[in-house]
Amino acid sequence: MTSISRLQTALQRQGIHVEHAKGIFRLHHEHAQATVLLPDSLPLEEKAVKQLMAFAAVKSAAGHHAVCKACATPDFHPGSIAPVGSIVATDADFVIPAAIGTDINCGMRLLTTGVKLSQAALHKDALISHLQKVLLENARDVPAHAKAFAALCDVGPSAFLDSLPDTGIWATADKDRLQRELASCVGLHEFGGARAYAPDAWFSRDGMIRDPSLGTTGGGNHFVELQIVDAVFDRHLAYQAGLAKDDIVVMIHSGSRDVGFFVGQRWMDRARTEWPAGQKHPVSGLFGLSGDLAHAYLTAMGVAARYAWANRMVLAELVRQQFQNLLGTSHSALIVDVPHNVILREHGMNIHRKGATPARHGDLALIPGSMGDASYLVQGLGHPDWLWSCSHGAGRRMRRQDVRRMRHQHDRGEWQCVTLREERRIEEAPQAYKPIGPVITAQEEAGLIKAAVRLRPWVTFKA
């Protein structure tokens, strides 16, 4: 990291001008402009800036479509192509598939358990043992017919629930509760879908299918975490959510797994092949799709987005059933399920959120820290300057390879990570992430969100 003045000089040599005041960076060059919300205690990274400006400058091959606005939240850091923590708006007939990538509708889910810490602590070892089996050791039974996946694609999540069998995990699932909880899933009803864009394996036979990805977290920064309600800042909202001090809750961070890779990679390749022959490719690797192809992409993306919801829903049911078996409680309720890494149609534009979360006025959102730091349930304030969004987490401050080199310096502290892969515990150590406090404060002061409840980690499960 360099100081702001040195970074400004380095970027200016590349034609990127930086203005900084009151925690907001305004960036511009001859092709685009963008803003970054970043508290003074957190560094601005040169690579992330360059990626954001490339993202903001994307145009269609003919130049008829382009990015309308670009910004970034405090978890802003470099990604593989587009920076994490960035939000870009395009017109309604233009999309940028690589900006979303393959982890489509990677998102967060938070649910109550109906259990206090004092009660859960008595069963901690048994909870860990049972949850490790179903979450990490494939001891799960999640059957579905091809007709259920067809319903998910062609009709939607409610039809998927109606089409599930009464065997395996579904034999004891409360399907009426699952239907009611669809109303707490932000943006879910806005995703389209069609089986033509789904994996052929779902429809290759008429019998029962046990999809190997359904009910799995995936690697990287994904997790299932038991958390404790640590502080309540908005009593009214906490009451509405059914939360009180020392409650045990479950936070789930996962996405569309293999389906997202199938859809995302196919459409990134399509965007590249549609680029006119002989016309210079964009250096950024961000190719846009226009018109009918843009709308087709959104339908395909919707298939993966709906699957990501199903994946998080199954993970939640796996946890619920273990709590039911061990503690005899069935008083669990979904608080919110919220996406990131998706495109949603808002205010007549396509809002691309790469590692950013919808924060529309009145909607709930989740902002996790690390497995050694707090997470927050917040309420969106719908700030148009930041494209009705907030951060999707604290944001990484160290690359995984750099964290691995610091292995001997890790302080385990009070955090507990259950994993079958020691490298995951190392790569995702709290030191790898920015502190969550300044990230939340900056967004509250800028009017993006209002913090409602703070949650502290108790046990984190990582694949």
Q: How confident is the model at residue 227 (pLDDT cuts 50, 70, 90)?
A: very high
Given a cut of 70, whether residue 412 has pLDDT beyond it is no
Per residue in 124-168, pLDDT tens? Answer: 999 999 999 999 999 999 999 999 999 999 999 999 999 999 999
Residue 66's pLDDT is 93
Residue 263's pLDDT is 98
Q: How confident is the model at residue 408 (pLDDT cuts 50, 70, 90)?
A: very low
Mean pLDDT of 302-310: 98
Given a cut of 60, whether residue 299 has pLDDT beyond it is yes
Mean pLDDT of 260-281: 96
Pairing of strands 449-462, 223-232: antiparallel
In this structure, the dihedral spanned by the alpha carbons of residues 131, 137, 142 and 146, taken in order and rounded to 10 degrees, is: 150
Report the chain's mean pLDDT, rounded to a whole number.
94
Q: Which of 155, 123, 83, 108 is nearest to 354 (CA)?
A: 83
How much is the CA Rg of the chain, to the nearest whole Å?
22
- When mean pLDDT is compared across 103-117, 221-235, 393-407, the lowest value belongs to 393-407
With both helix axes pointing from N to C terminus, report the angle between 124-136 and 291-327 in degrees, rounded to the nearest 10. 140
Q: Which residues of 197-236 are buried (b: 16+ CB within 10 A; e: fewer)?
A: bbbeebeeeeeebebebbbbbbebbbbbbbbbbbebebee
- Contact between 109 and 72 under an 8 Å Cβ cutoff? The reply is no
Structural domains present in the chain: 4-462 (3.90.1860.10)
Residue 413's pLDDT is 58
Q: How confident is the model at residue 438 (pLDDT cuts 50, 70, 90)?
A: very high
Per residue in 33-87, pLDDT tens? Answer: 999 999 999 999 999 999 999 999 999 998 899 999 999 999 999 998 999 999 9
Given a cut of 90, whether residue 5 has pLDDT beyond it is no
User: Helix, strand, coil % (nearest 5) of the chain?
Assistant: 40, 25, 35
Residue 1's pLDDT is 43
What does each C-alpha distance from 458 to 56, 184, 350 come to in angstroms? 39, 25, 38
User: Considering the entire predicted model, what is its pTM?
Assistant: 0.95
Per residue in 6-26, pLDDT tens? Answer: 888 999 999 999 999 999 999
Mean pLDDT of 265-283: 94
